[in-house]
């Protein structure tokens, strides 16, 4: 009797599999999905715990923070600066900058946060290949700025770009209808040119934000506004030229910046311990755990009209 019952059950299972293959497949997909995201959650909690606890036991050290690539968001660097500010074991901070600049708001946030930290602990900005426009702006918050002789810096200006596809749209017969609440609501639309009134309005905006940049340069570098305006026309400088104009303090490399930070903090070691925030995870895991990949976000940002402190040269000095 038991054997017959078992046989009937097995037959029923085979019949169910044959009649409902899609349901079986969906069931296994759900199970695999739950296991996958369960593993992701476990790794995420481990990584977050490590990021929170990486400063445990740190003493008499120098923190190092990197600002690399186009500046689109300051949130991660702001959090790292705040962690170093609160940690008594971090005696000084070196901010390593290799960036052509980026969004105005994010660049100003970095400048203000670095300046706030430098009022409590020595902060030295170390410029890499490029530290221009918003990258230079961020460096202004430090007590001292160190650059290589061939570092590209400066580009003290503001820019905003709008794509004009009007002629292309005309050729393909594309037309748009716009309903707007105000005269300037569709300003910068790609299907038409800017009007004279819009150009005037945008220039006033650019001038206002540029004046903010000039004022912070003058205050941070102990220069007059007139002196800054002579060179704040978008031009770039080598590190050597920047030193002549009083825009940086010393010529040197990253290790020179570390030594300078140690001196300002009155640290006894010639080679102090360096502490870096945990690096972002890359690949699929990094995409799932963190924000959008930096390169993708930068690509999107470059195609979007945005008010920028950014050098658009896309180059660096190369020795051959």
Show the tokens assigned to 263.
């001196």
- Residue 140 near residue 217 (C-beta atoms within 8 A): yes
Among 278, 264, 311, residue whose Cα is nearest residue 54? 278
CA distance 174 to 266: 67
Show the tokens assigned to 201.
């309005």
319 in helix, strand or coil?
Answer: coil
Given 180, 185, 230, 291, the catalytic residue:
185
Given 133, 155, 220, 238, the catalytic residue:
133
Give CB contacts under 8 A, 24+ apart, made by 73-81.
73/103, 73/106, 73/291, 73/297, 74/106, 74/107, 74/109, 74/110, 74/113, 76/280, 77/110, 77/113, 78/109, 78/110, 78/113, 80/277, 81/113, 81/114, 81/117
The sign of the CA dihedral 76, 78, 81, 86 is negative
Give CB contacts under 8 A, 24+ apart, made by 292-295.
294/69, 295/69
**Region label for 266, one of left (φ > 0), alpha (ψ between -120 and 50) or beta (otherwise):** left
CA distance 87 to 73: 24
Query: Has 185 been annotated as catalytic?
Result: yes
Query: Has 86 been annotated as catalytic?
Result: no
Cα–chain center distance at 7: 65
**Of all residues in the chain, what percent are helix, strand and coil, respectively (each to 5)?**
50, 15, 35
Show the tokens assigned to 288.
């799932």
Q: How many CA atoms lie within 13 A of 58 on its CB side?
A: 24
The set of catalytic residues is 133, 185
């Amino acid at each position: 009797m038991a054997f017959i019952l078992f046989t009937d059950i097995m037959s029923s299972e085979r019949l169910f599999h044959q009649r409902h293959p899609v349901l079986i497949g969906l069931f296994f997909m759900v199970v695999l999905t739950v296991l996958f995201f369960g593993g992701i959650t476990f790794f995420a909690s481990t990584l977050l715990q490590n990021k929170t606890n990486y400063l445990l036991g740190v003493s008499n050290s120098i923190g190092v923070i990197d600002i690399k690539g186009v500046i689109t968001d300051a949130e991660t660097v702001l959090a790292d600066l705040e962690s170093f500010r609160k940690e008594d074991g971090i005696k000084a901070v070196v901010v390593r900058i290799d960036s052509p600049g980026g969004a105005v708001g994010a660049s100003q946030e970095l400048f203000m946060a670095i300046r706030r930290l430098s009022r409590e602990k020595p902060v030295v900005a170390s410029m890499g290949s490029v530290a221009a426009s918003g990258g230079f702006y961020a460096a202004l918050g430090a007590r001292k700025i160190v650059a290589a002789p061939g570092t590209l810096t400066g580009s003290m200006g503001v820019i905003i770009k709008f794509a004009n596809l009007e002629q292309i749209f005309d050729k393909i017969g594309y037309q748009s209808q716009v309903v707007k609440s105000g005269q300037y609501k569709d300003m910068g639309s790609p299907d038409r040119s800017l009007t004279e009134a819009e150009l005037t309005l945008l220039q006033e905006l650019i001038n206002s934000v540029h004046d903010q940049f000039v004022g912070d340069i003058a205050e941070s570098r102990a220069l007059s506004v007139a002196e800054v305006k002579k060179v704040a026309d978008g031009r770039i400088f080598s590190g050597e030229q920047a030193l002549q104009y009083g825009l940086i303090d010393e010529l040197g490399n990253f290790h020179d910046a570390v030594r300078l930070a140690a001196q300002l903090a009155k640290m006894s070691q010639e080679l102090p311990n360096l502490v870096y925030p945990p690096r972002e995870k890359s690949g699929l895991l990094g995409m799932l755990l963190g924000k959008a990949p930096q390169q993708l976000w930068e690509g999107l940002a470059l195609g979007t009209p945005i008010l920028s402190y950014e050098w658009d040269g896309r180059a660096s000095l190369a020795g051959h």
